[in-house]
Structure 1
Amino acid sequence: MLAKLETILRENSLCVLCTEAAGNPYCSLMTYLLSDDHRTLYLVSTRESRKFKNLQANPRVSVLVDSRQHPTAGGNIVSVTFAGLFKPLAEAEVLPIKTTFAGKHPELGEILNHPDSVIFAIKLTSYLLLDGPVAADQGEL
């Protein structure tokens, strides 16, 4: 993966998750955890949320991550739009990820402890990287 993609994913923890169902788009500001191979994002929601219902109806998503939290030295905002696929997690995968979320993002305690919470994965499949308003690069992951 391009070093710039890995850097923006590692240095940030917020993304915009875009889902769709019945022809209606829906965007959600989310906190994510990044997998060790930098190709999967882990997110938490509730099973009854619109985003989770949309994911079940249509597993294809778009995810935006940008550098607004950590601007570059030149002042450019770098953004990456990823295409990805929703992946439910096996029960054995959930506890370690939930524990990591709780340690790194204590502000998510209410949703992590909610009886209806669900942790899921988004497998990143392709990207469009914008470095400022003009410079662009895209590819498959």
Structure 2
Amino acid sequence: AFKELDIPFERAAVGDRHVMELLGKQGWHLGGENSGHIICLDRVTTGDAIVAALAVLAVMKESGESLSRLRGDMELYPQVLLNVPMKQRVDLSENSTIQDAVKQAEARLGDSGRILLRPSGTEPLVRVMVEGKVANDVQEICEQVARAVGDALG
């Protein structure tokens, strides 16, 4: 939807800090995370739900449109997040078993989804997230990748 509206879009690494860095680098004012953190740099320098809600209300008032009408063209993709315990922190990008599983999963998703693997910053876990158009496929692919990660990490 962004492309059709000629709105630039980039994915930052997970974390408000990374979103802020990307916004600063690009000179943009709006960014956010799937967790719900939304940063409106023209108003505040941190993620603030009240400020984000007020910004949405301002757009609704200016446009005269309802929220359901404004989000009408937004396509939501099913997303599954699984946590895989790990005994010690490892570099996931250097584990061929994990990388092979990710490549197979990416091939199955094609251009209609994405996979994110990252160690938790607060717990001894690897977070496996899969997003795509078909919910059953997303669930199955996420379980397969999580199983491969679990097997590789022992």
TM-score interval for Structure 1 and Structure 2 normalised by the shorter chain: under 0.3
Question: Greater relative contact order (Cα 8 A, min sep 6): structure 1 or 2?
Answer: 1
Higher helix share: 2
TM value normalised by structure 2: 0.21
Higher strand share: 1
Which protein shows a greater Rg? 2
TM value normalised by structure 1: 0.22
